[in-house]
Amino acid sequence: MKYIYTLLFIPLLFSCKVDKKEVPSSENETEIVENSLILEGEKHFKSLKQITFGGDNAEAYWSFDDKQIVFQSNNKEWGVECDQMFLMNVGETFEDKIPPMLSTGKGRTTCSYFLPDNKHIIYSSTHLGDEKCPETPMKVNGKYIWPIYDSYDIFVADLEGNVVKQLTNEIGYDAEPTVSPQGDKIVFTSTRSGDIELYTMNIDGSDVKQITHELGYDGGAFFSPDGTKLIFRSSRPKTDEEIKEYKDLLAQGLVQPTEMELYICNADGSELRQLTKMGNANWSPFFHPSGKKIIFSSNFDSPRGFPFDLYMIDIDGKNLERITYGKSFNAFPVFSNDGKKLIFSSNRNNGGGKDTNLFIAEWQD
């Protein structure tokens, strides 16, 4: 459940909560390098390749052997009405052909991830609740919102698209699963407690444990390379007004993701601490291969709510560094398991339209 890329096309107004003197300026740094997709200032990209060419493509994750990628797309030319899961081999591009679909084509799906055997994936789907795509409300009282569908459950499928197991069957939202690089645990988001919290379970769905316990939306979690830590986004209301608004929306199966910060904790939930205090939406975090840094997307430097760019920060909250310099949207950064490549979603090179495509960069520190 991570369709925040639609924020780009909604006229939201955000207030800046940081001193502009402390923020790297993007002015005069967004000229495209000749014959390249890499923008001026994007020094960590040795090369950059576009691999999809239409629709909204996001949530792209590597197989454990880095040979394949699973991702979600709503590309109408691929015969889908809302997000479904697709498979590609690394090195392929999809400008003139359609990748194989791994989900059922029913309901709405999100957040797929490879299992350690490289032969199965997990993903969330609403198809048991209704085979049709659910409605996607975008605003309540003029504010951008996400739907938290209570029909989402987490499934295991093989690479032919056959569902072989259902991992969750609790009432409420079960989604956003990712797998530890150690191959032993899954972290996911659920409303089974009455709030939106993080949980872990074994690869087979057993030994479910609640990880977070504070009021607010905790989601989009990823394990560190050694599996000992979790990084995630959270919108945690503090004032009476914020708490009431959060609870009222949650009762309608909705959440407002416009104010989010990053949190980090041990994999069992201990030693929880807030990593960022930047304002606006800080989200889609992922560990750098070293385990000592976090790459993430943010609009904290965007008075009107966009663009979103990629940033990197140490796990102690120091040394914020800007990674991309776009004028639209860059998010969902995910390192390959060998640490040599980064896949992410971007609106660059889309002819000025609304398409969000996948790009793979050769990474250099």
| pLDDT at residue 309 tops 70 | yes
d(CA 343, CA 332): 8
Q: What's the confidence (pLDDT) of residue 142?
A: 81
For the chain, the average pLDDT equals 90
Q: What's the confidence (pLDDT) of residue 4?
A: 46
| pLDDT at residue 6 tops 60 | no
Name the 3-class secondary structure at 294. strand
Please report, for the domain that includes residue 62, its CATH number.
2.120.10.30
Contact between 278 and 302 (Cβ < 8 Å): no
Q: What's the confidence (pLDDT) of residue 139?
A: 83
AA letter at 280: N
| pLDDT at residue 183 tops 80 | yes
| pLDDT at residue 256 tops 50 | yes
Closest of 79, 89, 84, 82 to residue 51, by C-alpha: 89
For residues 319-323, give the mean pLDDT: 98
**What is the DSSP annotation of 162-221?**
-EEEE----SS-EEEEEE-TTSSEEEEEE-TTSS-EEEEEETTS-S-EE---SSSEEEEE
Q: What's the confidence (pLDDT) of residue 137?
A: 84
Number of neighbouring beta carbons within 10 Å of residue 43: 11
- pLDDT tens per residue, range 10-62: 333 223 333 333 333 333 333 334 448 999 999 999 999 999 999 999 999 99
Domain that holds residue 228: 4-363
pLDDT confidence band for 298 (50 / 70 / 90)? very high
Q: What's the confidence (pLDDT) of residue 327?
A: 82
For residues 75-99, give the mean pLDDT: 96
Name the 3-class secondary structure at 245. helix
For residues 288-299, give the mean pLDDT: 98
Q: What's the confidence (pLDDT) of residue 68?
A: 98
For residues 299-311, give the mean pLDDT: 88
For residues 315-332, give the mean pLDDT: 95
Q: Cα dihedral sign for 192, 188, 359, 235?
A: positive
Number of domains in the chain: 1
| pLDDT at residue 157 tops 70 | yes
- pLDDT tens per residue, range 117-156: 999 999 999 999 999 999 988 888 888 899 999 999 999 9
Instruction: Show Cβ contacts of residue 112 under 8 Å, excluding neighbours closer than 6 positions.
Output: 59, 61, 70, 71, 72, 85, 102, 103, 121, 122, 123
Where b means 16+ CB within 10 Å and e means fewer, 173-193 reads: bbbbbbbbbeeebbbbbbbbe
Q: What is the 3-state secondary structure (H, E, C) of 103-129?
A: CCCCCCEEEEEECCCCCEEEEEECCCC
Tokens encoding 326 = 């776009």
Q: What's the confidence (pLDDT) of residue 232?
A: 98
Closest of 302, 268, 265 to residue 285, by C-alpha: 265
- pLDDT tens per residue, range 194-236: 999 999 999 999 999 999 999 999 999 999 999 999 999 999 9
Quick check: bond before 134 cis, omega within 30? no
